[in-house]
Structures are given as C-alpha cells and as structure tokens.
C-alpha cells in the first residue's frame, strides 16, 4: 500500500530502529518513546488487522512476538511484557497495518496499560450464548 507508514518502514523509505526481521516479519522500536523498549511487530505483507491477515503471516507475526518477548525477559533484564493489539477503528487502531505492541515491563516501572476501571452490569451467560463458537 503506497500511503501506509508501516509499508514505507519495511521498504526502508522511512528510517526505523530495527529489533528483528525475517522473511515475513519486521519489528522495530515505537518512536513515541512512551516506554523503554516499546516494540511494534508487523507483517511484511500489508493487511489491515487480525481480521484480514492470512494465516501464514499471522502465524509468523505471533511467533515473532513470542520470540521477541522471551528475549526481552530472558536476555534483557525485563520482568514481563504487555502484548497489545487493536483491530478496527472502534478498537482504537490508529495505523491500519496489522501490528502488535510489545511493551517490556519491570516491577515498579509505574506504567498502567490496563485503563479499564469499574464494572459493567451484564448477564455473563447471555454474553457467552451470543459469542460462543461451540454449538
């Protein structure tokens, strides 16, 4: 896609701080500098999000996410990671090229990546009945 910022990064038209690359995946530091090591993992083939990504590329991206996350914890001194994805405008996706965020974490780092607060009233059985894949 010609106007996709992530496609331009993959092509080298926009510089990036590369963390990982293979034949299907590219991972680089998020320039927002909101957390040390905040990494974006993307497929080299353009797709919008998890809803339209073909299985081979989605599998490769998830495998790379795990590899990078394990590296951050096992080799780089982090205690854990948050792995985040937004698929669709209503889910607050801002760049419409599939990407996963890996945010390396340390105990006491002060980051709060779970902004949900409060409890919504709902009938969980009704919700499960609506959403189930089991028939």
Q: Which residues are catalytic?
A: 99
**Pairing label, strands 80-84, 39-43:** unpaired
Secondary structure (DSSP) of 69-133: HHHHHHHS--SEEEEE---SGGGT--SSS--EEEEEE-TT---------S-----HHHHHHHH--
Instruction: Round to whole Å and give the CA distance between 36 and 103.
Output: 8
β-strand partners of 80: 105
Order across the sheet with 100-105: list the strands: 18-21, 25-29, 39-43, 100-105, 80-84
């Amino acid at each position: 896609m010609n106007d996709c910022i992530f496609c331009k990064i993959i092509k080298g038209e926009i510089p990036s701080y590369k963390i990982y690359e293979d034949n299907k995946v590219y991972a680089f530091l998020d320039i927002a500098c909101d957390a040390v090591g905040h990494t974006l993992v993307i497929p080299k083939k353009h797709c919008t999000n998890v809803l339209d990504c073909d299985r081979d590329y989605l599998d490769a991206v998830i495998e790379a996410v795990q590899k990078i996350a394990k590296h951050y914890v096992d080799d780089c001194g982090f205690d854990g990671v948050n792995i985040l994805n937004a698929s669709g405008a209503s889910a607050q996706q801002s760049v419409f090229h599939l990407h996963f965020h890996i945010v390396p974490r340390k105990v006491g780092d002060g980051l709060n990546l779970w902004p949900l607060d409060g409890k919504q009233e709902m009938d969980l059985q009704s919700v499960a009945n609506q959403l189930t894949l089991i028939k």
